Structure 1
Amino acid sequence: MYDGLTVVDISSATYREWMEYLTKRGECERRRAHQMGHPLHWYMNNGFYYTP
């Protein structure tokens, strides 16, 4: 039964920080992919996109 606890546990601040992290991470990945001459999906398909 879904009681909405997962929604209560996630505050707007935490969600905002998480989105900022994903945005900065995405920009870094796109910048590195552009420098290496590979499209972003190449890194995603080869598993590099999810490595820190």
Structure 2
Amino acid sequence: MVNGLVGLAILFFVLALVFALLGARGVAGISMSIAKWLVIIFIVLAIISLLL
């Protein structure tokens, strides 16, 4: 199973690629935006954990 924010971001990125290839642009866009936000959250949390 997928563990952590990075794993979820990769999962949503792969889903976005699959749906884009199948022609479901709306679902691909939503999956890509979720992946983008998960990566942003991961980076912010990683920076905070390094500073503390």
TM-score (norm 1): 0.53
Match of 1:29 in 2: 42
Please say if 1:7 is aligned against 2:32: no
Indicate the structure with greater helix content.
2
Q: CA RMSD in A?
A: 1.8
Q: Which has the larger radius of gyration?
A: 1
- Displacement of 1:7 in angstroms is 1.5
Alignment size in residue pairs: 31
- Structure 1: give runs of 5+ residues left out of the alignment: 1-5, 39-52
TM-score (norm 2): 0.53
CA deviations on 1:10-50 (whole Å, 9 max, x unpaired) are: x1000000000000000000000000018xxxxxxxxxxxx
Which protein has greater RCO, CA pairs closer than 8 Å, 6+ apart?
Answer: 2
- Structure 2: give runs of 5+ residues left out of the alignment: 1-20
